[in-house]
Structures are given as C-alpha cells and as structure tokens.
Amino acid sequence: MSTVTYQSSWMNDDLRIFRKSVRQFIPREFAPHHERWCQQHRPDAEAWTAAGRVGMLLTDVPEEYGGAGGTFAHEAVVIEELAQAGINFGSGVHSIVAHYILAYGNQEQKRKWLPRMASGELVGAIAMTEPTAGSDLQGIKTSAHRDGDHFVVNGSKTFITNGCLAGLICLAVKTDPKAAGLKGISLIIIEAKNLPGYRVGRSLEKIGRHAQDTCEIFFDDVRVPAANLLGPAEGKGFSQMMEQLPYERLAIGVGAVATSEQAVAITTKYVKERMAFGKPLIDFQNTRFKLAECKTEARIGRVFLDDCIERYLAGQLDGVTAAMAKYWLTDCECRIVDECVQLHGGYGYMTEYPIARMWADSRVERIYAGTNEIMKEVIGWSL
Ligand SMILES: Cc1cc2nc3c(=O)[nH]c(=O)nc-3n(C[C@H](O)[C@H](O)[C@H](O)COP(=O)(O)OP(=O)(O)OC[C@H]3O[C@@H](n4cnc5c(N)ncnc54)[C@H](O)[C@@H]3O)c2cc1C
C-alpha cells in the first residue's frame, strides 16, 4: 500500500537547494572526523570555519551582520541534517548566542561579533547553569560588580556546551546581589580568548553526545568592559532569557522529530533484513505494531512541530507552546528510540549501531534547555 509523502508546509525550493548543500557537506567534512571528535570530546576548530564557509552558521541572521539572511526554516534544515547524520556539533547553541546578540545588542556589538560568528572564527556558548543552580536560576552565584568602565566577574558555570572552544560566551551573572529573586540577573558577553582570570575546566564525561564539547568554566576576577552588557540596563537578564528560550526550545523540537523519523527509518530497514525463526523480523505482528506506533507518533510530532515552525516564522510562537513542543517532542523521541533499540535486539546495545548512539544522545534532550518537568510548570502556569 503506498502512502503520500508528507511535506512540511514551510518547505520550499530555496530550502531544498540549501538542504542539498548541507547534505553533501556533512558526510564529506564532518562524518570522517566524528569518531575522533568523540574521542577528543569536541569537534576540531577547523570544523567551525568549514561550516562557516559553506553557510551553515547563523543562517537566520541578516546579511548585514554576516549571516545568511535566511529564516528559522534554514536553521531547521541544518538541525535536521545534523540529527539525521547523528553528528553532535554545537551549532544550535552557537545560533542561540547569535540571537541574544541580535535581539539585545547595540549596532556596535552586532557588527563586532556576529560576522565572526558567521564565519566560525568565533564559537559561541551560553552559560547559565552553575553547580548549585540549574532549573532554579534564582540561585546563580556568579557575580559581576562594576569597577569604573569594567565589570569584575567571579564564579563558575558547568555543563557548558561549546565551553572549550568558545571565543564568545553569553554569561548570566548577578549584577545586583541585593535584588530579590531573578531581578538582579544580567547577561554579559565575554570575549574569552586569552582573558586573564578565565579558565576552562575539564571536558565532562557524558553518556552520549561524546563529540559535543561540554565543559566547566571558571572566572576569577575577570575584567570585562562594561560595554559588553547586553541590553540597555542591568537586571534585564531573566526577561531576556524568557524571551529567547522559545527559539532554543523549538530548535530542540526540530532535532527531536528528525531523530525520531531517522530511528523509524533505520529500524524499518533493519527488521526487513534481520531473520528470526526463519523469517524477517517485520513478519512478526509485534514488530509491525511497534513500528506502526512509532511511525504514527513521529508523524504527530512532525505535524505539531511544523505548526510551531510556522508560528515562529510568523512571529507568533508563544513560550507556552514552545514549552509544549520541547517537552512532548523530546519525550516522544526517547520513547521511539527506546522501542527501536528493542527491535534491534542485542545489536541495539552496541555503539557501532547508529540506533544505540541515538538512544544515548537523545536522553539529554529531556534535561537541558529547561527540564521537561520545568516545561510542564510553564504550561501549568497558563492553566
Ligand atoms: C549535555 C548538557 C549540555 C548542557 N548545556 C548547557 C549550556 O550550554 N548552558 C547552560 O547554561 N546549561 C547547560 N546545561 C545544563 C542544563 O540546562 C541543566 O542541567 C538543566 O537546566 C537542569 O538543571 P540541573 O542539572 O541543575 O538539575 P536540577 O535543577 O537540580 O533538577 C533535578 C531534577 O529536579 C527536577 N526539578 C527541579 N525543579 C523542579 C520543579 N520546580 N518542579 C518539578 N521538578 C523540578 C528537574 O526537572 C530534574 O528532574 C547542559 C546540560 C547537559 C547535561
């Protein structure tokens, strides 16, 4: 029985051409190095400049700031292609940092940093989480106090994606330790290279995403120009984060759906080839039913995601809907990938099989960018 191929409503010829170039680039420039990146716990710095040359970075940043002048749909294409290839590169976080600068930076800041981010010369990281403050950002202790025309920054951050290679860090700090709750938080841009008092800690050993650069970072009396504050005044950091988190959460939803679809595709192929009791696994009703469930859930996810993408493109994606997307699509991804591991039997547990890596790589999606429990709190506030 044939099925009509589903097409995302936001897809068009320009995006198809772009997808083709990304799809050619990844196996040629990234895939041959991915195993080594996993061992060294980070991509090569040259991978960033290669991605910049092919136009894969800052695809949705205006050309006047060095970006490709596209839309979030271009970002979605990059995220999907990386997810389908199983490559963990930190370009999602890099884009998020660019969007903070785009939204709250002044002209000078945008012109100074964005073109170098688009070329891959500057790698971006965002640093909110601390050893004792993750979900509860009120608890952050990293401080920045004014000393003339500088801030003096002290503290540490953990689990920072792109931390080791980062040349530009969007850092959440307390600029007013006396302000109640989240009011004293500001965002400051740190130009990290050769900065006295700044130190990158160890690469963290993770259960998946081994090629992704995840580190601790430390600040010991680091002097940062006051001009690096993002926004017109101190104390705006929390509201800036709340405004930008839908972008990050939608991007995670894009990766989750692409991974779910890829898991169904590779598992369908596997169960047609693998024999048991004298017949291919697909001939067992349980196999077909499980894959039917997975394929249906992936499609439901895709339709919801496409609606969120359309809303974002129209400037209408609200924080609650973005939280729904992040929570539901990543939960769905983990359910699907786990079922697909089961259908691979013992081979599903072997890291040389893509499904095993997908399983380990997917798990964090329910944890970072706000845990799925926090997403339910955000949705709950709207009830
Ligand atoms: C691989 C990886 C990459 C990351 N990259 C970055 C990065 O680039 N930048 C960055 O700043 N951070 C990053 N993080 C950190 C990530 O965002 C945090 O781990 C996450 O926000 C959770 O914080 P926590 O780890 O302190 O957990 P906790 O806040 O201690 O939460 C522990 C558990 O308690 C639950 N919980 C907490 N509060 C509530 C509540 N109110 N109601 C119900 N349940 C609750 C949580 O949902 C969770 O299940 C990364 C994390 C990982 C693992």
Residue 181 has pLDDT above 90, yes or no: no
Cβ of 159 closer than 6 Å to ligand 1, yes or no, is yes
pLDDT in tens, 37-80: 999 999 999 999 999 999 999 999 999 999 999 999 999 999 99
Residue 258 has pLDDT above 80, yes or no: yes
Q: What is the pTM (predicted TM-score) of this model? A: 0.97
Report the C-alpha gap between 41 and 44 in whole angstroms: 10
**Residue 162 CA, closest ligand 1 atom number:** 8
Residue located via tokens 């689990």: 159
Residue 3 has pLDDT above 80, yes or no: no
Cβ of 128 closer than 6 Å to ligand 1, yes or no, is yes
**Residue 204 CA, closest ligand 1 atom number:** 1
- Report the DSSP pairing between strands 124-127 and 168-174: parallel
Cβ of 362 closer than 6 Å to ligand 1, yes or no, is no
Residue 169's DSSP bridge partners are 125, 190
| Cα 211 versus chain centre, distance | 14
Q: What is the DSSP code (8-state) at residue 279?
A: E
121 is catalytic: no
Report the C-alpha gap between 269 and 189 in whole angstroms: 47
pLDDT-based confidence at 180, cuts 50/70/90? confident
Report the C-alpha gap between 250 and 246 in whole angstroms: 6
Q: What is the DSSP code (8-state) at residue 349?
A: G
Testing ligand 1's pocket by substitution, the residue of 140, 164, 203, 368 carrying the most ligand atoms inside 8 A of its CB is 368
Residue minimizing CA distance to atom 17 of ligand 1: 368
Cβ of 170 closer than 6 Å to ligand 1, yes or no, is no
CA atoms within 13 A on the CB side of 383: 7
| Mean pLDDT of all residues belonging to the chain | 97
Cβ of 71 closer than 6 Å to ligand 1, yes or no, is no
**Residue 212 CA, closest ligand 1 atom number:** 1
Testing ligand 1's pocket by substitution, the residue of 126, 129, 216 carrying the most ligand atoms inside 8 A of its CB is 129
The H or E element that residue 19 is part of is helix 13-25
Residue minimizing CA distance to atom 12 of ligand 1: 129
Cβ of 341 closer than 6 Å to ligand 1, yes or no, is no
Residue minimizing CA distance to atom 7 of ligand 1: 160
Cβ of 93 closer than 6 Å to ligand 1, yes or no, is yes
Looking at this protein, which amino acid is placed at residue 306? D
Report the C-alpha gap between 54 and 61 in whole angstroms: 15
Cβ of 160 closer than 6 Å to ligand 1, yes or no, is yes
Cβ of 161 closer than 6 Å to ligand 1, yes or no, is yes
Q: What is the mean pLDDT of residues 343-368?
A: 98
Q: What is the mean pLDDT of residues 346-367?
A: 98
pLDDT in tens, 79-130: 999 999 999 889 999 999 999 999 999 999 999 999 999 999 999 999 999 9
pLDDT at 12: 98
**How many whole angstroms from 134 Cα to the centroid of ligand 1?**
5
Q: What is the mean pLDDT of residues 281-300?
A: 98
pLDDT at 1: 62
pLDDT at 329: 98
Q: What is the largest CA-CA distance in the chain?
A: 79
Which residue among the candidates 75, 216, 234, 248 is catalytic per the annotation? 248
353, two tokens: 């099989």
Residue 2 has pLDDT above 70, yes or no: no
Residue 198 has pLDDT above 80, yes or no: yes
pLDDT in tens, 213-236: 999 999 999 999 999 999 999 999
Q: What is the DSSP code (8-state) at residue 27?
A: I
Q: Which of 147, 148, 145 is nearest to 219 (CA)?
A: 145
Q: For the chain, how many residues are written?
A: 383
Contact 50, 120 (CB under 8 A): yes
**How many whole angstroms from 71 Cα to the centroid of ligand 1?**
29
pLDDT-based confidence at 175, cuts 50/70/90? very high
